[in-house]
Each structure stands twice: as structure tokens, then as C-alpha cells.
Amino acid sequence: MKTFEKETFKESFIKVKLLGKASAKAQSAMEYLMTYGWAILIIAVVLGALFELGVFNANNFAPKAPPGACQVFRPNGPGTTSFINLEGICTGEMPQYVATSGSNIESSIVVPSIQTGPLNGVTLVFYWINTTKSSVNAGIFSLKFSSGYSINAYLPQYYNVGPGSITVYTLNPSGTNLGQLDLPAFTSWQQIAVTYNASSNLISVYRNGADLTNLAPSNTLPLVGPINFSIPAQYYSWINSWISMANVQLYNTSLSANDIQALYLEGIGGAPINLQHLIGWWPLNGNANDYSGNGNNGVPTNVIYVSNWYSSYTPP
């Protein structure tokens, strides 16, 4: 019995000692948390805010092409197609800047007269983002042919489709709508492409390389050059009409679905894919100049070029 009691007392003593050490460690841990807990919490909040602002977005660390880094060289002058090629940084690097209209101001980029050469179709490709719903019918772009017909897009006021929606439509010289398509809403960078095929008389609309639908005008849309091109369309208010735009490309042919998909896969900094039919290229990377070699420089009004645009862009 005595041996048992001694062992029991010894064991109890050890347990008490261990519990004392554990209690001391717990107390030390609590004191540590009380001392440094607020600092840890503040650091966690700051990191969360930085992630939310996109500071740690991989796009922020990707190489950025300076204005005019890539352009089309036409050795025989504007409008020629012999021996043309791309020169400069044409590897699809993201641009340093994109064009933005700001808010509550009238902003535009206008190219009054573009010589198109032979026309059997037309293609307009651009990257665009709008994160606010317009309070008015506001234009995005207008391609107006000398025949008086036009292909246009605007932000609809009267459709409850949410921020970033687009309506693409055609007008005849008297202003009659020949057909339209309402694109779903979005709030991130998207590639939009519109093609018109003169032989089939169809307008195709693409979003991120995917063919959404075809619009069949009620009568033929005459393709007669030159073309007047403007951002936004001049048929509606210019206020709050477009938020940010980049890499606008215009062709005097109807690009195929495969071509549109290939352009999308190049990303927002991609170079034109069909130089023979390229008539205008406005990267909007710091200016409204035309880098197609055809000299169709845009005339900007109240346009701002911003560099902190990456958070809403996801490469394909």
C-alpha cells in the first residue's frame, strides 16, 4: 500500500507540474495574442484590401508595350499592300494605356474619312468595358458608309439588361433600323467583333471569339467607301457612352470566324491578323494614332489614357 501511495503522489505531483507548465504556456500565448493580435489583424485587412484592389494581380507584373511599340510598315506608302509587315514589339504584350472617357463629359474619337480600297465586306474588332449603366441612349461606335448606310452600337437606356450591355444595329440613309442584336451585360474586358459580308448580306456579332448570332438587314447594305468612323456613335448622347476601349481594328473585308477567334486568343495587345485588308488600327495605347500604316489618325476629344486598368482583364 505504501508503495502504491508514493507512486500515486508522485504521479499527481508530475501532473500538477505539467498542468502548471501548460497553463503558463496558455497564458503566454494569450499575452502574445493580446500584444500582437491587433497588428496581425491589421496586416490581414491590408492584405485583403490589396488583393481586392488587384495589387497582386499577375497582370500587374506582365510586360507592357509602350505607345507605338508595334505598327504596320508599308514600304510603298499608305493604301498599298505590297511587302507590308509588322515592325516592333508585336508579341501580344499588354498595352501600357487604354483610352477612357471618364464620366459626365462628352468624349469622342473621330476619323472623318477612311479610304477603304475595294470593299466586299467590313470587320470592326475592339476591346471594350463599361461598368456603369448609362442614363441615356449612349453611342459606342459608328461606321458610316458614303452611301448613307451605317453599322452602329449603343448602350440601351430602355432595356433592363444591366451594366455593360450593347445593342448592335444598322440604319439606312433615312434612319430606319434594318436589324439589331442586344448583347448580354458584362462588367469586365471583352472582345467585341462585328462583321458584314456583302455576298451573304449578313452582319455577324462576336463576343470573346464566339459567334453570337447573325443579323439579316431587310435590304442590301451598300458598301461604298470612304467610311466615317467614330467612337462613340454620333446618333446618341456622348455622355457616359463608353468607359474604356483598346485595340480597335478595322478591315475592308469580312473576317472569318476562325480569324476572329485567333484575334481573341492573341489578347488585348494582339496585332492585326490580316494586313492585306487592314485599313485602320488604333491601339489607343496613349494616343489615337492609326498604326496600320494608312495614316488614318483619330481626332480625340476629352479622352483620357489610363494605366491602372488591369484588374478587370483576364487573358484568354
Per-residue confidence (pLDDT) for residue 58, from 0 to 100: 61
Q: What is the pTM of this model?
A: 0.79
Q: Are 152 and 169 in contact (CB under 8 A)?
A: yes
Pairing of the two strands 64-65 and 94-95: parallel
CATH number for the 64-312 domain, one of 1.10.1040.50, 3.40.50.10320, 3.30.1330.10, 2.60.120.200?
A: 2.60.120.200
Positions in the chain whose pLDDT score sits under 70: 1-61, 102-105, 130-138, 156-165, 185, 218-219, 233-242
Nine-digit cell string for 245: 476601349
The residue to which cell 505598327 is assigned: 71
Per-residue confidence (pLDDT) for residue 59, from 0 to 100: 64
Q: For residues 314 and 250, give the distance between their C-alpha atoms in angstroms, rounded to a whole number.
A: 23
**Maximum C-alpha span of the chain:** 117
Domain ranges of the chain: 1-56, 64-312
Distances (CA, A) of 198 to 23, 225, 255, 282: 85, 13, 12, 24
